[in-house]
Structure 1
Amino acid sequence: MHGIAIIDPMEHEQRSQPRLSPSGDTEDIAAILAPRLAYFAGVARTEHVTRAAQEMQVPQSTLSRALVRLEQDLGVDLFARHGRTVSLTPAGRTFLTSVERALAEVERAAEEVRADVDPASGKVAFGFLHTMGSETVPELIRAFRVDHPRVRFSLVQNYGEAMIERLRSGELDLCLTSPVPDAPDLVARRLDEQRLRLVVPDDHRLASRKRVRLAEAADETFVTLEPGYGLRRITDDLCRQAGFRPRIAFEGEEAETLRGLVAAGLGVALLPPPAVPRPGVAELTVTAPRAAREIGVAWRAGIPDTPPVAAFKRFLLSRRGHLLPD
């Protein structure tokens, strides 16, 4: 039979209350209603169940039952029946406004995630250390985009521990970090090693030297990164190996800020090489203990890569031993 499905009048009058859990959680009713919203919007648009069923390519009986169940779950009449056609009640018009907005948002989200995994133009959420932002990461992305010109990047610059947390939460696909993490929920690969230098003011007693043992700076005041930064942890460990605990004059968030404070005479610092030489400081090779930090890439274990993430991961791994500028 064509037209609106026949509904027993008594059944229509004795509609059940929404089948929610005793707590009446919004999440429960959302799970109940969600599959029926597109059916509702389709019938509201055509004002005809048969026509809507044909457009949506679903059996008319399925569509009719879904509308009845939707009204039962809400406890209100959304449609007024007029023979073979229907029209929205005031409650139905109110409901339709929000339903159309919700369906449009779902459509937008679906298009966005499909775009993000596109092999040619998808997105990579990539985190990296502050000290790698001026030269290393821009060069990596430039080289990668030679063969993948349309891949998009969402970049996060932060210290190591914060990036690992964002990696674990799913905000990042990959991150360059130091020290290289060792945790069961992460996969990490060492990519390169970066030598650290003792940076002193250019009028410092050690400034004329090319090489120095770290123990020779035991009486100096240090400027360092804040606790929680990988470079701070390495600095503390190297000083401990050299037999002293550093006296800290300043704790910051940027290596180049520390280099500027060294130039101003506030202290000395253990830092990676600068992208551009800075006047006012001398940078000394530390001969003992061996002053270096490992740089690695990390990602979550057991999480499938999208095609653009897989491509960028392969690219990074191909740069082992050649990640950092000479």
Structure 2
Amino acid sequence: MDTNALRWFQQVADGVTVTEVSELEGTTQSGVSRALARLEAEVGTPLLRRTGRTLRMTHAGVAFKRHVDAVMHELDDGLAAVQQLVEPETGTVTLAFQPSLGTWLVPDLVGGFRAAHPGVRFVLQPKRDELVTSLHPRGEIDLELSTLRVGSRAVRWRRLAREPLHLAVPAGHRLADRGRVALAESADQPFIAIRPSSVLRQQCDELCRRAGFTAEIAFECDDLPTIRGFVAAGLGVAIVPAARDSVADPATGSVHLGITDDGAARDIGMSWATERRLLPAAELFRAHVADRTAAGRLLAGPER
């Protein structure tokens, strides 16, 4: 089958008019119409029907398009793979990441990689739901950085580091000069917490439960910088990852205390779909992350 006809069928099925397709592809309207007609003849049934001035998919067209989308996705990946083999320092890495890693780990890893491979482009996608992986065999995501360990054969997970969790308290708080505390010592305090759809929130709730109390949630926030700001304003305490050098420095006016309770740390990992072949650029980045991990530099802060 003519791949141009398949692409034009995809576009028309998605609502693009034949006129628009012809303008985008630099061909004639009659050329597009003839290609679609040849495609329908090869399939053996109409795929599109005219409704007024637009073309809509028939039932056969709907069934056919799902497979066309999959085939063209594989074809595009194949073409990209060949291009990257010819030019190994080009390509695109699509990286999903947990937002709490976006102020320090992601810019550190991407910056270090781009210093050695400036021709590689990145598409960065913060995870909206931290409790669900972004990885799928036919998805767009190459790699994912998060604290979610997926229990599925379809996803490979590699632990990169174990990051301590701290109790953030306002400066001048009765625990501020302690250095390290048992979480039960904060049981009577109002807590600032991240939203329930966060992996960190689930871990914080579990730590408090093990310590013998249910935290009184005074405020729920969408991100860690906001939580740290609320703590600095004296509105409560919070369980947060260890503060690190980042684009957005931790808020002043708060103190981070080590937590002595067992399990007061989170595992940071890298994941990828086992059934999705990584293109060379993504393989290069995965190797870069692995090298940083093996050298023990992952939690050491940005490379200078």
TM score, norm. by length of structure 1: 0.64
Per the alignment, residue 138 of structure 1 pairs with: 107
- The answer on whether the counterparts of 2:225 and 2:251 sit within 8 Å (CA) in structure 1 is no
- The answer on whether the counterparts of 1:224 and 1:248 sit within 8 Å (CA) in structure 2 is yes
Per the alignment, residue 305 of structure 1 pairs with: 278
- The answer on whether the counterparts of 1:192 and 1:322 sit within 8 Å (CA) in structure 2 is no
Per the alignment, residue 188 of structure 1 pairs with: 157
Structure 1 segment 103-122 matched on structure 2, within 5 A: 114-115=79-80, 118=84, 119-122=88-91
The Cα offsets for residues 175-220 of structure 1, whole Å up to 9 and x where unpaired, read as 1000322222210000001111100111211112111111101111
The Cα offsets for residues 39-90 of structure 1, whole Å up to 9 and x where unpaired, read as xx79x88xxxxxxxxxxxxxxxxxxxx79x68x988xxxxxxxxxxxxxxxx
- The answer on whether the counterparts of 1:123 and 1:151 sit within 8 Å (CA) in structure 2 is yes
The Cα offsets for residues 291-322 of structure 1, whole Å up to 9 and x where unpaired, read as 11000001112211111111111111222243
Q: Does 1:172 align with 2:141?
A: yes
**Structure 1 unaligned blocks of 5 or more:** 1-25, 31-40, 46-65, 75-106
The Cα offsets for residues 100-128 of structure 1, whole Å up to 9 and x where unpaired, read as xxxxxxx9x97897457623211110011
**Structure 2 unaligned blocks of 5 or more:** 1-8, 14-26, 32-37, 47-71
Provide the aligned C-alpha RMSD in A.
3.4
Q: 1:323 to 1:180 in 2, by over 3 A?
A: farther
- Of residues 198, 209, 212, the one that matches 2:167 is 198
Structure 1 segment 189-268 matched on structure 2, within 5 A: 189-268=158-237
Identity of aligned residues (%): 38
- The answer on whether the counterparts of 1:159 and 1:229 sit within 8 Å (CA) in structure 2 is no
Task: Give the secondary-structure state (helix, strand or coil) at the position aligned to 1:192.
Answer: strand
Cα distance in structure 2, aligned partners of 1:322 and 1:163: 28
User: Aligned partner of 1:122: which letter?
Assistant: G
How far did residue 147 of structure 1 move? 2.5
Greater RCO structure (CA 8 Å; 6+ sep):
2
- The answer on whether the counterparts of 1:179 and 1:293 sit within 8 Å (CA) in structure 2 is no
The Cα offsets for residues 102-161 of structure 1, whole Å up to 9 and x where unpaired, read as xxxxx9x97897457623211110011212212221111111123211011000123563
How far did residue 163 of structure 1 move? 6.0
Cα distance in structure 2, aligned partners of 1:112 and 1:170: 11
Cα distance in structure 2, aligned partners of 1:170 and 1:179: 18
Structure 1 stretches of 4+ with a deviation exceeding 4 A read: 109-113
Counting matched residue pairs gives 236
- The answer on whether the counterparts of 1:160 and 1:230 sit within 8 Å (CA) in structure 2 is no
Cα distance in structure 1, aligned partners of 2:285 and 2:278: 10
How far did residue 325 of structure 1 move? 2.8
- The answer on whether the counterparts of 1:214 and 1:289 sit within 8 Å (CA) in structure 2 is no
Larger deviation, residues 179-188 vs 121-130: 179-188
Task: Give the secondary-structure state (helix, strand or coil) at the position aligned to 1:313.
Answer: helix
Cα distance in structure 1, aligned partners of 2:129 and 2:300: 21
Task: Give the secondary-structure state (helix, strand or coil) at the position aligned to 1:167.
Answer: coil
- The answer on whether the counterparts of 1:136 and 1:325 sit within 8 Å (CA) in structure 2 is no
User: Aligned partner of 1:299: which letter?
Assistant: W
Q: Does 1:324 align with 2:290?
A: no
Cα distance in structure 1, aligned partners of 2:264 and 2:79: 45
Cα distance in structure 1, aligned partners of 2:164 and 2:149: 15
